[in-house]
Amino acid sequence: MSIPRRLLPGLALLPAAPALAQGFPERPITLVTGFAPGGSTDIASRLISERFAANIGPGARMVVENRPGASGTVAADWLRRQAPDGHTIMLIEVSSHAIAPAALQGGTPFDPVGDFTQIGLVGTAPLILITQPSFPARTAPEAVARLRASRPEEFAYATSGVGSIPHLAVEMLGAAIGARFTHVPYRSGGLMLTAIHQGEGQFGIAVLASAAAQVRDGMVRGLAVTSRERFPSFPDVPTLHESALPGFEMTTWNMIIGPPRMNPAILATLNRALAATVAEEPVRERLLGAGVSAWSGANTPEVARDFLQGEVRKYQEVVARTGIRLER
């Protein structure tokens, strides 16, 4: 016998579990990244895509598509115009949805929060100060001292694009030590690393997920990470905070988003599958080895939206405090 709802007033306070989408997906799901192959977002996308698809349901398939340009903002602007049917989603990071809206001259053509549907979080990652192997410094304190004493624009630094987190990170480093450098932007973290290895840029601050393999192989020299604590898979690499620049801290993150006004049942299906994927220990281990700490704790669309709003506010405050503006 059913219990009348009026006899259980507390039920009105409990949110109903969202229904999962029946018949979804109808075709392969495209997971877009805003950078060329080899960068941190591309690496994270490919690490999770197979298990992400499997957790959506039997027969689900996911393909990674690279749409590089303007630190992910080109792909994001394209995504918001796609059908909200769950078959086109995007893995984003801080550059396109927090730094570019705050720091780029003229901002971005989209609202980084309101023009998208937040699906869930993948993880967070530090950055790492890197140099070409022949750079005249072998430790973070030596490098910071050498950069501080340099003539204006004596050194060139490579980044994964104008408005990217490596771009802002080096500008913040320069502001902290009173130095200016020549900016050489590329279309991905992978191209940035190749440029530093070949000497087209003497140094840079890369997302660890992009640089991990090259640091291990000695293609570039990793001097210090930008998180407050050392990263577990690189325990011998100090932090900039502890070794050379007290208080310097910067991290990035990865999130899955979709076009605005997504079907609630499809959103629930994608969120459930993503949360299950980043909770799997083999996936977490692969992400950690690549320089990403998989997200822990609640991982709902609401949590992702609140997190993104906080990041947007944070970089608005950074730009207001430092006066840094990034030209296109």
Residue (of 225, 68, 80, 217) closest to 140 by Cα position: 225
The pLDDT score that the predictor gives to residue 319 is 86
Distances, alpha carbon 163 to alpha carbons 129, 136, 175, 189, 324, in Å: 18, 28, 16, 13, 11
CA distance 33 to 80: 13
Record the tokens describing residue 321, joined without a space.
């405090």
Q: Where are the chain's structural domains?
A: 26-124+252-322, 126-243
Residue 201: count other Cβ atoms within 10 Å of its Cβ.
27
Q: DSSP class of residue 19?
A: P
pTM: predicted TM-score of the whole model, two decimal places: 0.84
Residue 57: count other Cβ atoms within 10 Å of its Cβ.
14
The type of residue at 323 is: G
Residue (of 202, 223, 205, 222) closest to 213 by Cα position: 222
Superfamily of structural domain 26-124+252-322: Bordetella uptake gene, domain 1 (3.40.190.150)
The pLDDT score that the predictor gives to residue 162 is 86
The pLDDT score that the predictor gives to residue 213 is 92
Query: What is the Rg, in whole angstroms, of the alpha carbon atoms belonging to the chain?
Result: 21
> Is the link from the previous residue into 25 a cis peptide, with omega within 30 of 0?
yes
The type of residue at 12 is: A
Domains 26-124+252-322 and 126-243 equal at CATH topology level:
yes
The pLDDT score that the predictor gives to residue 22 is 81
- Cβ contacts of 326 within 8 Å, gap of 6 or more: 99, 100, 103, 104, 105, 162, 163, 167, 168, 171
Q: Where are the beta strands (DSSP E) in the chain?
A: 29-33, 62-66, 88-93, 117-131, 156-159, 182-185, 203-207, 221-225, 251-258, 293-294
The pLDDT score that the predictor gives to residue 20 is 67
The pLDDT score that the predictor gives to residue 33 is 96
- Cβ contacts of 245 within 8 Å, gap of 6 or more: 144, 173, 176, 177
What does CATH list as the number for 126-243? 3.40.190.10
The type of residue at 170 is: V
Q: DSSP class of residue 6?
A: G
Q: Mean pLDDT for each 10-residue chunk of the chain (328 residues)?
A: 37 45 91 91 94 95 95 95 97 94 90 98 96 95 97 94 90 93 91 94 94 94 96 95 94 96 97 98 94 94 98 91 78
